[in-house]
Amino acid sequence: MAELKLGKYHGTGNDFVMIEDPDGEISLSERLVAALCDRRFGVGADGLIRVMRADDADFFMDYYNADGSTAEMCGNGIRCLGKLVFEHGLTGKTEIAVMTRAGLKHLSLHTRGSEVESVTVDMGHPAFTKAEIPMRGPAWETFLEQPIKAGGMTLTGSAVSMGNPHLVLFVDGDPEQVEVERIGPELEYSSMFPERTNVEFVVISDGQLNARVWERGIGETMACGTGACAVLVAANEAGLAPARADVRFPGGVLDVERRDDGVLLTGPAVRVFEGTLDPAWLAETAPS
């Protein structure tokens, strides 16, 4: 690669390196993705999204975690993809279909003139069985409002898949005091989850869902779109929240609605900058 053009976008503080590669011509190694996402020696991001053409949709979202591993889906990232493709003229539609590793997702772009201000994503149906999450144990069993030990404590948790695995923990007290960096990695790598898991820590106060998240392959992030959906669904299943509510993360607020035909996620998408990588840096980092 002689040069690499990219953009930096975020959705409620969950940030991404965005690369347009409609024909899949760019070689992305795990090493290169991790280097681009490095916050000291690279661009810095929670993940990387390559935007590609798709035979069975308008676009394909090729998504990577910050450690270079691939992931199924990202609710904040797919909103950024919607903003990029519309504002870069790759589509003139405000209703678009995006294929992901978690299946087909439909986006509604909320625009003002030529700019996308927010995006609603049809995230599909939540899944609860251990086979679907995936989670070890009898395939048909669920794990809802069950005790789970971590960090020397017994917590109450619910496991939900929103196309990727989530463990939602209901905790008491101040969200800022939750030991996310201690408990998160312990549960991410728990033997209960063969493909690891994202972990949400939820404090419900005056009916408000306040959450922090430890993301698989990344660490704590400012927000998580699929995590927001998992939080609302788990709280609704437990009778702790209505079918539509705001989920507050350190990076901002996401609107989540659980309906009979799926879960809708609405939130902002922001372009931070666009540029070209220094060819010397790229030559040292990219695959040969």
DSSP code string of 252-286: EEEEEEEETTEEEEEEE-EEEEEEE--HHHHHHHS
Alpha helices in 178-224 (DSSP H): 180-188
Read off the tokens for 232. Answer: 């609302």
Catalytic residues: 74, 224
Peptide bond into 134 cis (omega under 30): yes
Angle, helices 75-87 vs 225-237, to 10°: value is 140
Q: Considering only CA atoms, which of 51, 25, 65 is closest in space to residue 221? A: 65
Q: Rounded to a whole number, what is the distance in angstroms from the first to the last CA of the chain?
A: 9
